[in-house]
């Protein structure tokens, strides 16, 4: 097994506890590093409502079987068996009470129960197949095995061990890889928007945001480079690089009716908007749109236009902040080559791909770890 992250450790423990002889190879000096830094150090380890609708993939049904056979409840049961206390933050997101390190310790203990052997830190020089077996070359000697599970994750945060190894190995065995891109990632303002809104860095707005057929109701955060916060991270996974984001700044009201109620008021629009939006944001938005004027001067047609702009503020980012700032990599090993039940490559007996390296990408909120547990468990039952 290559890669001792979330999926690799789950898979190794599952296979080992079935009595399989498992060797886990990890090139980085620490295991489960992404678990350690996740969820602000508390690891949002699953989402109670995780289901196929929360994942992006060229085959949206691919994740169904693995999630059904090892779902959030199974992982919560495991966490509880290890005495790890947890809480729900919001929207079904489950976090450790204490520390993400508890999850790493738990996975290591589960690996120990399965008598998993480790080679770590240990790079992999290459993989070859002869007959029914794989040979994995490492500086500490070659390893031969009848099954090889690839759990090397995606390309995000290369500083803590991410490599394109899994995608290259897929190519070596003739599998196609859906083009990868950073997902759950902050977006950059184009220079004109940066000049107008960059000073609002730190301001957070509760919005409904739509893009690529998806809609999320979450907070948007203005940063010194562009937009971030849960609303933007979620929608970034659906952004194609060309379509403007459609942001409803007043998701709780009908903007047209609300403005009409105040149509004859002497109050300025930015003052009125500050009842529902952060003051600095309201002021800047009105100045940019040239409407920081008393309501009664804006006229019926003007208010109609403003209401439409507030309900659908269109922002075209200039790009993403890339893999260094992304939480996950979208795209990956094409699921058409894999069994959805076992994660095995259909045409290469004994070869498996699990976790983030596969073209299955979860929303923000514990869904990506759940995919790592579910796919790792599925392969661990079969490999």
Ligand X SMILES: Cc1cc2nc3c(=O)[nH]c(=O)nc-3n(C[C@H](O)[C@H](O)[C@H](O)COP(=O)(O)OP(=O)(O)OC[C@H]3O[C@@H](n4cnc5c(N)ncnc54)[C@H](O)[C@@H]3O)c2cc1C
| Sites of contact with ligand X (CB under 6 A) | 2-8, 25-28, 33-34, 37-39, 43-44, 123-124, 151-153, 156-157, 161, 163, 165, 327-328, 355-356, 366-369, 372
CB 291, min distance to ligand X, A: 39
| Residues 77, 83: Cα–Cα separation, whole Å | 10
Nearer to ligand X, 307 or 330 (CB): 330
Q: State the alpha helices, DSSP H only, in 249-297.
A: 255-261, 269-273, 279-288
- The backbone torsions φ and ψ at residue 113, rounded to the nearest 5 degrees and listed phi first, read -60, -30
Q: Are the C-beta atoms of 193 and 199 separated by less than 8 Å?
A: no
Taking the complex as a whole, the smallest distance from the CB of residue 47 to ligand X amounts, in Å, to 8
List Cβ neighbours of 101 (8 Å cut-off, separation of 6 or more): 36
Q: 3-class DSSP state for residue 247?
A: strand
Helix 367-382 to helix 72-81 angle (10° resolution) is 80
**CB nearer to ligand X: pick between 157 and 274:** 157
Q: How far is the CB of 239 from ligand X (least distance, A)?
A: 18
Task: Answer whether 165's CB lies under 8 Å from 123's CB.
Answer: no
CB of 93 to ligand X, least distance (A): 8
Output the smallest distance, CB 323 to ligand X, in A.
Answer: 9
Smallest gap from Cβ 168 to ligand X, in A, equals 9
Tell me the closest approach of the beta carbon of residue 123 to ligand X, in angstroms.
6
Q: Which residues pair with 23 in a beta bridge?
A: 117
Closer of 129 and 325 to ligand X (Cβ): 325
Residue identified by tokens 């959805």 is 340
Instruction: Say if CB 256 and CB 262 are below 8 A apart.
Output: no
Rounded least distance, CB 96 to ligand X, Å: 10
Q: Which is nearer to ligand X, 37 or 263 (CB)?
A: 37
Q: How far apart are CA 179 and CA 329, in angstroms?
A: 10
CB of 369 to ligand X, least distance (A): 3
- 183 close to 361: Cβ distance less than 8 angstroms: yes
Q: Using the minimum distance from each CB to ligand X, give the nearer residue, 7 or 247.
A: 7
Q: How far is C-alpha 21 from the chain's CA centre?
A: 32
| C-beta of 71 vs 161, nearer to ligand X | 161
Q: Which residue's Cβ lies closest to ligand X? A: 5
By beta-carbon proximity to ligand X, the closer residue of 6 and 255 is 6
Which tokens go with 249?
Answer: 């700044």
Judged by CB, which is closer to ligand X: 7, or 311? 7
Nearer to ligand X, 127 or 259 (CB): 127
Q: What angle do CA 111, 114, 120 make, to 5 degrees?
A: 45
Helix (H) or strand (E) holding 252: none
In the sheet with 319-320, reading across from the earlier edge strand, the strands are 313-315, 245-248, 204-211, 214-222, 226-228, 187-188, 319-320
């Amino acid at each position: 097994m290559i890669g001792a992250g979330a999926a690799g450790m789950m898979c190794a423990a599952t296979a080992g506890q079935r009595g399989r002889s498992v060797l886990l190879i990890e090139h980085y000096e620490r295991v489960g590093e992404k678990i350690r830094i996740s969820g602000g150090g508390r690891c949002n380890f699953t989402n109670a409502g995780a289901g196929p609708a929360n994942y992006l993939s060229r085959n949206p049904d691919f994740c169904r079987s693995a999630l059904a056979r090892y779902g959030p409840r199974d992982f919560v049961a495991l966490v509880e068996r290890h005495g790890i206390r947890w809480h729900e933050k919001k929207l079904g997101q489950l976090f450790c009470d204490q520390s993400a390190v508890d999850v790493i310790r738990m996975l290591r203990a589960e690996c120990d129960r399965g008598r998993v052997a480790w080679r770590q830190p240990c790079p992999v020089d290459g993989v070859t197949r002869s007959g029914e077996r794989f040979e994995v070359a490492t500086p500490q000697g070659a390893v031969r095995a009848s099954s090889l599970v690839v759990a090397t994750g995606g390309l995000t945060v290369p500083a803590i061990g991410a490599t394109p190894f899994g995608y290259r190995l897929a190519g070596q065995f003739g599998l196609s890889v859906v083009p990868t891109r950073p997902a759950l990632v902050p977006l950059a303002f184009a220079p004109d928007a940066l000049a107008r809104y960059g000073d609002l860095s730190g301001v957070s707005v509760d919005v409904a945001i739509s893009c690529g057929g998806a809609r999320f109701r979450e907070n948007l955060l203005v940063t010194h480079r562009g937009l971030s916060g849960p609303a933007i991270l979620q929608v970034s996974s659906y952004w194609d690089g060309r379509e403007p984001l459609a942001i409803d700044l007043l998701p709780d009201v009908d903007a047209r009716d609300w403005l009409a109620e105040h149509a004859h008021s002497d109050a300025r629009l930015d003052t009125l908007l500050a009842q529902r939006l952060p003051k600095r944001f309201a002021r800047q938005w009105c100045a940019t749109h040239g409407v920081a004027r008393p309501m009664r001067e804006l006229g019926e047609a003007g208010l109609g236009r403003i209401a439409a702009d507030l309900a659908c503020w269109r922002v075209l980012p200039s790009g993403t902040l890339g893999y260094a700032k992304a939480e996950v990599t979208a795209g990956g090993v094409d699921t058409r080559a894999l069994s959805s039940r076992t994660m095995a490559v259909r045409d290469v007996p004994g070869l498996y791909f699990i976790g983030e390296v596969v073209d299955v990408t979860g929303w923000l909120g514990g869904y990506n770890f759940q995919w790592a547990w579910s796919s790792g468990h599925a392969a661990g039952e079969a490999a």
